[in-house]
Amino acid sequence: MTERIWFSEPNIEDFSKGHKNTAVDAMGIKVTEIGDDYIRGTMPADHRTFQPFGLIHGGANVVLAETLGSIGANLVIDPSKEFSVGQEVNANHVRGVREGYVTGTAKLAYRGRSSQVWEIHIEDDKGRLSCISRLTMAVVPLKR
């Protein structure tokens, strides 16, 4: 059995409300599942996320990856004491996607006092790897 990593019980509905009228909303990104140690979400492969050649734009993959990793990073800390912000993100795009949806799964790879590293795998509708991303998050104490 996998150990639960969240500071408090996550609620998918809260993320939907918080992303209203943002890039996440405009691109059709949805958080679909929160497991004991991962967050999963989808993004459509359509006109909102394509580059000119009819493939998902690499930057759209990065938005999906950073969205999922950022949510996770803020769920493993005590929000009354600190918050997490993106520090660095990279992505390797290994397969183009022309239709359907992509699904990203974010997992915590490293957790320290002042930083976290998240690994996000993005797959197409057939479960084939499309992108691997790594996100480094800074953990910032709240000012009192």
Q: Kindly report, residue by residue over 95-144, the tens digit of the pLDDT.
A: 999 999 999 999 999 999 999 999 999 999 999 999 999 999 999 999 87
Active site residues: 66
* Residue 65 tokens, joined: 């990856």
Query: Residue 121 CB: number of other CB atoms within 10 A?
Result: 17
Q: Kindly report, residue by residue over 46-99, the tens digit of the pLDDT.
A: 999 999 999 999 999 999 999 999 999 999 999 999 999 999 999 999 999 999
Residue 99 lies in a domain: yes
* Cα–Cα dist 80/141, whole Å: 9
Please say if the pLDDT value at position 18 is more than 90: no
Residue 14 lies in a domain: no
Helix (H/G/I), strand (E/B), else coil: 31 = strand
* Residue 26 tokens, joined: 């405009």
CATH of the domain at 86: 3.10.129.10
Q: Which domain holds residue 125?
A: 24-141
Residue 7 lies in a domain: no
Residue 9 lies in a domain: no
Q: How many domains does the chain have?
A: 1
Q: What pLDDT score was predicted for residue 87?
A: 97
Q: Kindly report, residue by residue over 27-40, the tens digit of the pLDDT.
A: 999 999 999 999 99
